[in-house]
Amino acid sequence: MTDVLLELDDVRKWFPLASDRLFRREREHVKAVDGVSLRVRAGETLGLVGETGSGKSTLARCMTRLHDVTSGRVIFDGVDITQMSQRDLRPVRREIQMIFQDPYGSLNPRRRVGSIIGDPYAIHGVGEGTDRKRRVQELMELVGLNPEHYNRFPAEFSGGQRQRIGVARALALRPRLIVCDEPVSALDVSIQAQIINLLADLQAEFNLTYVFIAHDLSVVRHVSDRVAVMYLGKIAEVADVESLHATPRHPYTAALLSAIPIPDPELSDRRERIILRGEVPSPINPPAGCRFHPRCPKAQDRCAGEEPALVSRNGDEEDHRAACHFPVQPGERLSAANGERP
Ligand SMILES: Nc1ncnc2c1ncn2[C@@H]1O[C@H](COP(=O)(O)OP(=O)(O)OP(=O)(O)O)[C@@H](O)[C@H]1O
Ligand code: SF4
Ligand SMILES: [Mg+2]
């Protein structure tokens, strides 16, 4: 059996809406994360994909306890950390780190990178003076930055180098889990691969576990062992990366896969492109039943009334789970189901 490092059990994160309070008896909420159960195994990379607003960053912040959850449980290394006080969380915080999308926005422009990277040491009282400086310079070297640039400011670095600063800072306390929230989305394509390779090297060297968040499946495919697909605050499908690509079961996953560009024009012409109708509904009042039903090419009456559980079906591996009453069959053409031309 594989060790589970992080477990989410029916996690919800609802944000109360500030407006309308005086006029409504019941307060409305943005149901950003609405009942997510997931396991992250030690040493793996779990990819997390979904359209903008699907709740990926909110879920990331629940995992790292940057958000208190509305309900459900967060279990790290066998310990329930859901209600832990800030004080009790201190040792846990060393083990769980985050890397953010915007490598510039998350770095204070008026501070020198040496002290930025050394922040975790200052907060956790690790090393002092020259010892701390030496540790920071070792980290800079590890992530491919010139240690002599210790006294420079963030603006003196390129986008890719700034993300290396973010990586160094996340790595400072030798965490076990790093949640990477779109770490390469803001970077030039040519730089993206460098950062991804750096993350892969560090994972191997330090036996790290990653949750890797991205908008689409094309980046996630190359870095993940398993992938979870999010839609409107819920997990639509989760599977190892090969099964997800070979036999997507959830129509939403199939649509996301069909949107990945294929370089070969002949293959690309033959491939079905599934166009979803409509927009993502509001997470304030998500659709009843399966929340994908207003956009789903396979939707039937049952879908609007009964919420599908996230389970393994059709003889799939136990680990391949989809929340769909009518899972996609291999070779099935969904655009036909939709009444659209392929
Ligand atoms: N602090 C907050 N207060 C109120 N609503 C929030 C807050 N944070 C997020 N939301 C809402 O929760 C929903 C999910 O947002 P979230 O940022 O988690 O999505 P995301 O999948 O990370 O999107 P993106 O791909 O754009 O980063 C959105 O409707 C968003 O507006
Ligand atoms: S449960 Fe129904 S609406 Fe939801 S994804 Fe499956 S077929 Fe589509
Ligand atoms: Mg986000």
pLDDT in tens, 59-70: 999 999 999 999
DSSP string for 27-95: PPEEEEEEEEEEEEETT-EEEEE--TTSSHHHHHHHHTTSS--SEEEEEETTEE-TT--HHHHHHHHHH
pLDDT at 57 over 60: yes
Q: Is residue 237 part of a domain?
A: no
Output the CA 29–ligand 1 centroid distance in Å.
12
In the numeric block, which tokens belong to residue 54?
Answer: 């699907």
Q: Which residues contact 309 (CB under 8 A, 6 or more apart)?
A: 323
279-314 in b/e burial notation, b at 16+ Cβ within 10 A? ebeebeebeebbbbbbbbbbbeeebeeeebebebee
Same domain, 258 and 279: yes
**Domain range spanning residue 119?**
106-174
Domains held by the chain: number: 3
pLDDT at 267: 74
Q: Using the atom order of ligand 1, give the atom closest to the CA of residue 215.
A: 25
> How far is 36 from 74, CA to CA, in rounded Å?
10
55 or 342, which is more confident? 55
> How far is 195 from 167, CA to CA, in rounded Å?
9
The verdict on the CB of residue 251 being under 6 Å from ligand 2 is yes
Q: For the chain, give the mean pLDDT.
A: 91
Output the CA 278–ligand 3 centroid distance in Å.
21
pLDDT at 22: 60
For 331-338, what is the mean pLDDT? 73
269 or 325, which is more confident? 325
Q: Is residue 192 part of a domain?
A: no
Bridge partners of residue 235, in order along the sequence: 230
pLDDT at 162 over 50: yes
Q: Using the atom order of ligand 1, give the atom closest to the CA of residue 51.
A: 25
Ligand 1 pocket (Cβ < 6 Å) reads 15, 30, 32, 50, 52-58, 215, 283
Q: Whose CA is nearest to atom 1 of ligand 2?
A: 324
Output the CA 250–ligand 2 centroid distance in Å.
7
> How far is 16 from 28, CA to CA, in rounded Å?
6
Same domain, 87 and 115: no
Same domain, 8 and 31: yes
Residues 110, 115, 121, 122: what is their CA dihedral angle, to the nearest 10 degrees?
Answer: -60
Q: Whose CA is nearest to atom 5 of ligand 2?
A: 324
Answer for the pair 28, 282: CB distance below 8 angstroms, yes or no. Answer: no
Ligand 1: residue of 33, 56, 58, 284 to mutate (most ligand atoms within 8 A of CB) is: 58
pLDDT at 338: 52
pLDDT at 341: 38
Q: Indicate whether this model's pTM tops 0.85.
A: yes
Of the candidates 233, 242, 207, the residue with the CA atom closest to the CA atom of residue 319: 242
Question: Residue 27 sits in a domain of what CATH number?
Answer: 3.40.50.300
Residue for token digits 């605050």? 233
Q: Using the atom order of ligand 1, give the atom closest to the CA of residue 59.
A: 18
pLDDT at 269: 76
Q: Whose CA is nearest to atom 29 of ligand 1?
A: 53
pLDDT at 103: 67
Q: Whose CA is nearest to atom 7 of ligand 1?
A: 15
pLDDT at 169 over 90: yes
Same domain, 134 and 29: no
pLDDT band of residue 288 (cuts 50, 70, 90) is very high
Tens of pLDDT, residues 291-323: 999 999 999 999 999 999 999 988 899 999 999
Q: Is residue 156 part of a domain?
A: yes
> How far is 228 from 323, CA to CA, in rounded Å?
11
Q: Is residue 289 part of a domain?
A: yes
Q: Whose CA is nearest to atom 3 of ligand 1?
A: 15
Same domain, 280 and 160: no
Bridge partners of residue 11, in order along the sequence: 36
Residues, CB-to-ion distance under 5 Å, ligand 3: 56-57
Q: Rg of the Cα trace of the chain?
A: 22
